[in-house]
Each structure stands twice: as C-alpha cells, then as structure tokens.
C-alpha cells in the first residue's frame, strides 16, 4: 500500500468518524420534559434505557402512596397503563370498567387502563411528595419546583445537541444544598 493510499484511507476514516458523530449528535430520541406552565424547562430525562416511568405521590384524601405507571406511546404521547395504591376510598378508581383491579397483599393494582395523554399537568405541593421514578432514579419534585407550581410533563423528540442546549438553560425553581 502506497503513501497516497494510506493518506486516502485516513481521510475516509476521519470522514466516516465525523459523519457518525454528527449523526449521533443530531439524531433525536424521546425525552421526558418537565416544565412550568410558563414554559420554563426544569428537568430533562432522556428515555433511552426504558420506555416506562412512574409518577408517585401521596393521595390527597387517603394520605397513602399512589404510583401511576406510564409508557411512551407513538406520536410523543403518554400512555397510563396502571395505577398502584394502598387504600380504597374517595378519588381512587375501583369500578370494573376502569380496568382490572387486583389486591396483591394490600397493594391494589389497577391495570389495563390504556389512557392516552398529550401531556400531564399537575399542581405541585410538597405535602403530596410528588416524584418521578425512572430507571432506578428518583426525582423528587420538591428539589426542582416551588409549591403551587403547575408542572407540565410531556415527551419531546430531542437530539443530544438539543438536550445539551436546553439543559444549559434549565432553571430549578429551588436551590438544593
């Protein structure tokens, strides 16, 4: 192999590596975006490991934990698949048409919900202990949002470059020590 062929091979290799890096940097994938109702992005959670996540909170009447299990659906929608809770009562689903309800050692599991959402809006109050659970990580909303904030949760397709840009502009409403 001549010197000219070796130089050409290096140029082609560097070109392919550069093209590969550009594709990776600008190829969009689903990201869970938590923002305020005013549009300020506060938390970005890339959904690359799993397509499922859980919203956890204390029920306002029963004061028991509730877990709402969601998954990514086509067209950047959120699909509520099941809800787990520890007591029956006001505001908790129990009718047969709401899904299949099973008592699993004191944990009521309501499955088969299949409810689609473009986004989920919720009012944050520390008393409810709102949290997002994803891939073994827990994101306590008290670490990100002020009491009374309306939180919007939605899926957006973002590239790693867009994530880096938005992450550099994310604003926590609270200071965490």
Q: How far apart are CA 103 and CA 116, in angstroms?
A: 25
Report pTM.
Answer: 0.82
Domain ranges of the chain: 29-167
Angle among Cα 114, 115, 120 to the nearest 5 degrees reads 140
How far apart are the C-alpha atoms of 84 and 110, rounded to whole Å? 6
The whole-number pLDDT of residue 45 equals 95
Which band of pLDDT confidence, cut at 50, 70 and 90, is reported for residue 131? Answer: very high
More confident residue, 177 or 111: 111
Per-residue pLDDT for 93 more than 70?
Answer: no
Cβ–Cβ < 8 Å for 128, 148: no
| pLDDT (tens digit per residue) in 13-41 | 887 887 777 666 778 999 999 999 999 99
pLDDT at 32: 97
pLDDT (average), residues 92-116: 83
pLDDT score, position 27: 86
In the numeric block, which tokens belong to residue 169?
């502009």
Cβ(153)–Cβ(159) under 8 Å? no
Averaged pLDDT of the chain:
87
- The set of residues, in sequence order, having a beta carbon less than 8 Å from that of 109 and lying 6+ positions away, is 82, 83, 84, 101, 102, 103
Per-residue pLDDT of 1-11, as tens digits, reads: 567 777 888 88
66 has pLDDT over 80: yes
């Amino acid at each position: 192999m001549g010197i000219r062929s070796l130089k050409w091979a290096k140029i082609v290799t560097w070109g392919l590596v550069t093209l590969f890096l550009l594709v990776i940097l600008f190829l969009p994938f689903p990201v869970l975006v938590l923002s305020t109702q005013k549009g300020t992005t506060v938390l970005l959670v890339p959904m690359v490991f799993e397509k499922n996540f859980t919203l956890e909170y204390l029920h306002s009447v029963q004061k028991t934990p509730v877990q709402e299990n969601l998954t990514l659906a086509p067209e950047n929608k959120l699909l509520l698949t099941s809800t787990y809770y520890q007591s029956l009562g006001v505001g908790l689903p129990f009718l047969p048409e709401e899904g299949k309800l099973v008592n699993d050692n004191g944990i009521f599991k309501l499955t088969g919900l299949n409810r689609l959402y473009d986004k989920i809006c919720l009012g944050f109050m520390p008393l409810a202990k709102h949290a997002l659970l994803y891939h073994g990580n827990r994101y306590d909303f008290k670490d990100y949002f002020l009491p009374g904030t309306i939180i919007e949760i939605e899926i957006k397709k973002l590239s790693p470059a867009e994530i880096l840009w938005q992450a550099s502009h994310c604003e926590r409403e609270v200071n965490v020590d």
